Structure 1
Amino acid sequence: MIIDCAVYRNGVRESTEHDTESLEAALAGLGKDDFLWIGIGNPQTFELERVAATLGLHPLAVEDALEAHQRPKVERYTDHLFMSLRTVRYSDDDITTHEVNIFMGANFLLTVRRGGPDLRNARKAAESRIEPMSHGPTAALHAVVDSIVDGYEDVAAELETDVEEVETSVFSNRPSSDSTRIYRLKRETLEFRRAVMPLRDPVERFATGSMPEDSRPYFRDIADHLARAADAIDTIDKLLDNALNAHLAQLSVQQNADMRKLTAGATIFAVPTAIAGIYGMNFEHMPELKWTLGYPLVIAVTAGICGYIYWRFKRSGWL
């Protein structure tokens, strides 16, 4: 349940045993500038409650961490901060999100992950930068949030590539089901938006005043990455709208062209139909009935009229 646990003294890692008693001992032995970083993956209710009791976490924050599908948010309690955010992955026109909940106190950081990629790379990257890690748990918080937000930009880049493919397909001459793919991409973009947009205001507050002065530049960098991801989402959404409108317009133009061809064909065949209908009537005294060249003359006149109509339609672009 506890994936990783370590004490950081002056930015240097000291591993700790992964049990409640060891956590209590580690907390009791922390110095002024030391902090404890605990990583938990897919915990059972009783497991998280046991760790929460050791760290003194607020029960409402623990309840939010236990309930899935939280909206990205930041809440402050008396002696700790609770943050909920989502990791995002994109593959085969499908957005997948998983929840990460973070508790930060004066001398600890607890990450609770539900599914999705683990946070080992974020921890290793943070541990390689000893000077920032000496700033305390805010450095660990920055490492986790920065890793997740960097993933947003990667997803945005992949979505933009797929949107370019859709645009190319829309303006090509080959038949395709572009409207289906555009709808799927718009739905996945909406899911992406739900993960990114609610996070902008909390991170902006981190960057401008609610974090220690030495940590704010790092959160300003995250805020900048979030802004780029949000701008990319807006651009993707607008491009998909434009692609859908262009696709529908092309379908309408194609249908009009098809209707014109059908109309032209019906007009051409109306002439022989009318002549055949007249000469199919059972009257004796009709022109050319007794004339030897009457039949080829009617055929020739019919073919001439049809040819003339075809030429006029071809000239006007209907055929």
Structure 2
Amino acid sequence: MLINCVAYQDGRKLADVEVEDISDYVARGDCFVWVALRDGDVGELAKMQEEFGLHALAVEDASRGHQRPKIEEYGDSLFVVVKTVEQRPGGNGELVLGEVDVFVGPNYVLSNRQNSAHDLLGVRARAEREPHLLKQGPAFVLYAIMDAVVDRYFPVADAMETELEQIEERIFEQKSQRDNIERLYALKRKALVLRHAVVPLLDAVGKLHGGRVPSVCADSQEYFRDVHDHLHRINTTLDSIRDTISTAIQVHLSMVAIDEGEVNKKLAAGAAIFAVMTAFAGIWGMNFKYMPELEWRYGYPAALLLMVTVCCYLYRKFRKAGWL
């Protein structure tokens, strides 16, 4: 669906453009056209390919969707894929992945937003409020789109850190151990989802500043360096979250092992006490004719007293050792 189709000249809005007239404005050379689509279908992308002269392979990737974050060069134009990451409202914080495909040329920008609840109207409004920056042309628009998407990663990462802190506070609570481990694994999956959006884009944006930079972005390298810095910060946060989750899981497993050891010690102590009683009962239960205790009047109570005394002695020893 077409959202906007506007031509800009010297950083200011020139005119709203009909789709059929896009190629005329692109051919002028003194302005650029910025088109925004939402969930554009194959027919719309084919029409845009005709008006802008887009590369067939880039259009094919945009039509299929579900692309890995990347930046590809096609002559003097770029095809950029950026993943949007949003938390599903009203649920358990599950992350929803979307995608923004951006075609950038010397005098055009075409963005196609897919499966994303957050619009990019704020990006256009911001660019129009800064005509001195919008004068840089399509490169600044690409930066503004990428910056808006990347900035939305920060609240997601912050929410993960907050949730991890809450789990850490409860990690030593005996009753919450199973719930904690389930939440840790769910958090680990969410961190992995965000990481899959950040890391490939981090590598790709590195191509837009320093070294050989595509010509369309040559005059805006410092802006893409800023995006690269934001991505690096988010990636560092994700590494920290991942390490903390791994440590928390190891702590949980260690606590389980300790608990199992405590149970095993109690069982072993109980078995030892019971074994002593069994041994005495087995000896006196043997059917021999000549056993002095059998003829003694106080043999039976003495045997019971001895068994109780030995068991009490073992109990005190195990208790002192912390096994009971």
Deviation at 1:270, TM superposition (A): 1.8
CA–CA distance in 2 between the matches of 1:217 and 1:239? 33
Question: Percent identity among equivalent residues?
Answer: 38
CA–CA distance in 2 between the matches of 1:124 and 1:31? 24
Q: Deviations over 1:65-109 (max 9, x none)?
A: 011221111111123211011011245353321111000111111
Do the aligned residues in 2 keep the contact of 1:93 with 1:185 (CA within 8 Å)?
no
Give TM-score scaled by structure 2 length.
0.88
Say yes or no: does 1:220 pair with 2:225: yes
Do the aligned residues in 2 keep the contact of 1:153 with 1:228 (CA within 8 Å)?
no
Say yes or no: does 1:101 pair with 2:106: no
CA–CA distance in 1 between the matches of 2:166 and 2:15? 48
The residue that corresponds to 1:237 in the other structure is: 242
The residue that corresponds to 1:145 in the other structure is: 146
Deviation at 1:207, TM superposition (A): 2.6
Deviation at 1:168, TM superposition (A): 2.8
The residue that corresponds to 1:86 in the other structure is: 83
Query: What is the root-mean-square deviation of aligned Cα atoms in Å?
Result: 2.3
C-alpha spacing 1:275/1:93, structure 2 compared with 1 (3 Å): farther
Q: Deviations over 1:196-226 (max 9, x none)?
A: 1111233222232445555222222111101
C-alpha spacing 1:67/1:234, structure 2 compared with 1 (3 Å): same
Structure 1, 191-200 or 7-16: larger mean CA deviation: 7-16
Deviation at 1:162, TM superposition (A): 2.2
Do the aligned residues in 1 keep the contact of 2:61 with 2:67 (CA within 8 Å)?
yes
3-state SS of paired residue (2:152): helix
3-state SS of paired residue (1:176): helix
C-alpha spacing 1:202/1:251, structure 2 compared with 1 (3 Å): same
Deviation at 1:266, TM superposition (A): 1.0
3-state SS of paired residue (1:57): coil
The residue that corresponds to 2:276 in the other structure is: 271
Deviation at 1:308, TM superposition (A): 0.8
Do the aligned residues in 1 keep the contact of 2:5 with 2:19 (CA within 8 Å)?
no
Q: Which amino acid aligns with 1:45?
A: V
Deviation at 1:305, TM superposition (A): 1.2
CA–CA distance in 1 between the matches of 2:80 and 2:24? 26
CA–CA distance in 1 between the matches of 2:164 and 2:202? 24
CA–CA distance in 1 between the matches of 2:125 and 2:53? 27
Do the aligned residues in 1 keep the contact of 2:6 with 2:33 (CA within 8 Å)?
yes
Give TM-score scaled by structure 1 length.
0.89
Q: Deviations over 1:105-145 (max 9, x none)?
A: 11111101111122122222222222211221112111110
Structure 1, 149-158 or 276-285: larger mean CA deviation: 276-285
C-alpha spacing 1:213/1:68, structure 2 compared with 1 (3 Å): closer
Q: Which amino acid aligns with 2:67?
A: Q
Among 186, 189, 195, the alignment partner of 1:187 is: 189
CA–CA distance in 1 between the matches of 2:209 and 2:160? 28
Q: Which amino acid aligns with 2:316?
A: W
Structure 1, 206-215 or 137-146: larger mean CA deviation: 206-215
CA–CA distance in 1 between the matches of 2:10 and 2:285? 106
Structure 1: gaps (5+ residues): none
The residue that corresponds to 1:202 in the other structure is: 204
Deviation at 1:240, TM superposition (A): 1.7
1:54-203 matched pairs, under 5 angstroms: 54-90=51-87, 92=92, 94-116=94-116, 117-177=118-178, 178-203=180-205
CA–CA distance in 1 between the matches of 2:193 and 2:76? 33
Say yes or no: does 1:42 pair with 2:23: no
Q: Which amino acid aligns with 2:111?
A: T
C-alpha spacing 1:268/1:168, structure 2 compared with 1 (3 Å): same
Q: Which amino acid aligns with 1:48?
A: L
Structure 1, 223-232 or 74-83: larger mean CA deviation: 74-83
CA–CA distance in 2 between the matches of 1:14 and 1:302? 103
Structure 2: gaps (5+ residues): none
Q: Which amino acid aligns with 2:53?
A: G
Structure 1, 168-177 or 128-137: larger mean CA deviation: 168-177
Do the aligned residues in 2 keep the contact of 1:16 with 1:22 (CA within 8 Å)?
no
